[in-house]
Amino acid sequence: MAMERFKKSAELYKEACRFLPAGVSSNLRAFPIFDPHPIFLQRAKGSHVWDVDGNEMIDLLGAFGAAILGHLHPRVMDAVRKQLEEATMLGTPTELELKTAKLFCELVPYADQVRFGMTGTESTMHAIRIARAFTGKNKFIKFEGHYHGTHDYVSVAVGSTAGSEIAPYKVPNTPGVPEETLKTVVVLPWNNLEVLEKTIKRQRQDMAAILMEPIMCNGGLVFPEKEYLEGVRELCTENDIILIFDEVVTGFRIALGGASEYFGVKPDLGTFAKCMSGGVPCAAIAGKREIMSTIKPGGTMHAGTYNANLISLAGAHATMTELKHQGKAGYERFHGLGKKLIGGLKEAADKANQRVFLPGFTGWFLMYFTEKTEFKNFRDVNAGIDFAKFSKFAWEMMRRGVYVHPDALERINISFAHTEEDVNKIVAAASEAFKTL
């Protein structure tokens, strides 16, 4: 039975299921992930959102992390409004495209050149193609639990596991993925340099790329073990393999220059979306000039009517400009606020005798109901946490004015717009929510 507080959301969802598959346009927004129904949000400002029932909530989803500056940031909105008065879409090169590319390459340490698109999924798809074209090889390695979007080549070993830990089976995470497609994909465990090295030695002649999240963001926020990224980088260099960082989550959030700045390891290519454009759809592929310059007429194909869309570029340029302006001090405050929130949640859980573990980075993290305190890979996460208990906790938070996605593997995201007052209110709500469990 629908909760009275979210009555209109329940009514809208029932109707939406008549016209939209599962009532939504992205599976992560649907029942049974949201049980009994998703909440229909209507508007947002800064760190807060309002739903169709008029409930105001502190937002800890942040559009799955895209709202790095908070919702409707004035600099971003001014840039978008100005662009709306000139043109929304031209399908030609524009000066704004050049300005945005120059700024992007200034901020991202390994970006000599960049191409703009609309989604993270298409960016990883094109990055794989670019690596194959450049190397003349067909296979690539992805890691169990790493999520890179929804195209066929990466729709494997996400959300479920099979086989041994050192030799995972290639389990598609959706029907409709051709078996022939997966013959070019090699699935390996994350954070195991020995297995990776042995695999490369056997298959280096066929291996075009290693595609990886520099932090396993979508499979449980597992950080790379010490010197793991350096080891992967070395193996790629020695064996003529393209190293691709999927920075759709880490880009502009973990640091202004992304994972490369934070870890000091440079990939050959990187893919970006979410934080780079402050809430308007925009994505990018970037990397070394010798690789990126193969994208051209008669060379590697990369095209799209909406690529470098002017509204997207306006949002991206304004967002990156603001993040650059915030600089080190802004990121220190942002991460400091996250640290305070993590500490407050842990203290509140302890007082309520709830065993939780909060992995991740202070600008985005998870909260596991578990007795464990160490997670090395996706199998550790998948078998070691209480998903049902977190879902109950999330709904208790939403009843108390804090929007939390009920999937335990969906990141808790704060933004530059969140305040200490927000943190205090979140911790107070959590203190009550823990007691109900």
The CATH number assigned to the domain with range 74-323 reads 3.40.640.10
pLDDT tens for 387-417 read 999 999 999 999 999 999 999 999 999 999 9
CB 50 within 8 A of CB 42: yes
Query: Where on the phi/psi map is residue 112: left (φ > 0), alpha (ψ -120 to 50), or beta?
Result: alpha
- Please give the DSSP secondary-structure letter assigned to residue 225: P
Would you say residue 196 has pLDDT above 90? Answer: yes
Would you say residue 373 has pLDDT above 90? Answer: no
Residue 2's pLDDT band, with cuts at 50, 70 and 90, is very low
Burial of 318 (0-12, 13-18, 19+ CB in 10 A): buried
CB 352 within 8 A of CB 198: no
pLDDT value at residue 138: 96
Would you say residue 366 has pLDDT above 60? Answer: yes
Helical spans, DSSP H, in 152-192: 179-182
pTM over 0.75: yes
Would you say residue 1 has pLDDT above 60? Answer: no
pLDDT value at residue 377: 87
Would you say residue 361 has pLDDT above 90? Answer: no
pLDDT tens for 92-115 read 999 999 999 999 999 999 999 999
Would you say residue 140 has pLDDT above 50? Answer: yes
Instruction: Report the catalytic residues.
Output: 147, 246, 274
> What is the C-alpha to C-alpha distance for residues 357 and 370, in angstroms, rounded to an integer?
7
Same fold, 4-71+327-436 and 74-323: no
Higher-pLDDT residue of 242 and 4 is 242
CA dihedral 155, 161, 167, 169 (to 10 degrees): -50
pLDDT tens for 248-272 read 999 999 999 999 999 999 999 999 9
Instruction: Please state, for a pLDDT cut of 70, what percent of the chain lies above it.
Output: 100
pLDDT value at residue 56: 98
- What is the CATH superfamily name and number for domain 4-71+327-436? Aspartate Aminotransferase, domain 1 (3.90.1150.10)
> What is the C-alpha to C-alpha distance for residues 221 and 237, in angstroms, rounded to an integer?
26
* Of 26, 20, 21, 24, residue with least CA distance to 37: 24
> What is the C-alpha to C-alpha distance for residues 108 and 105, in angstroms, rounded to an integer?
5
pLDDT value at residue 145: 93
Would you say residue 349 has pLDDT above 80? Answer: yes
> What is the C-alpha to C-alpha distance for residues 247 and 73, in angstroms, rounded to an integer?
22
Q: Where do the structural domains in the chain lie, given as residue ranges? A: 4-71+327-436, 74-323
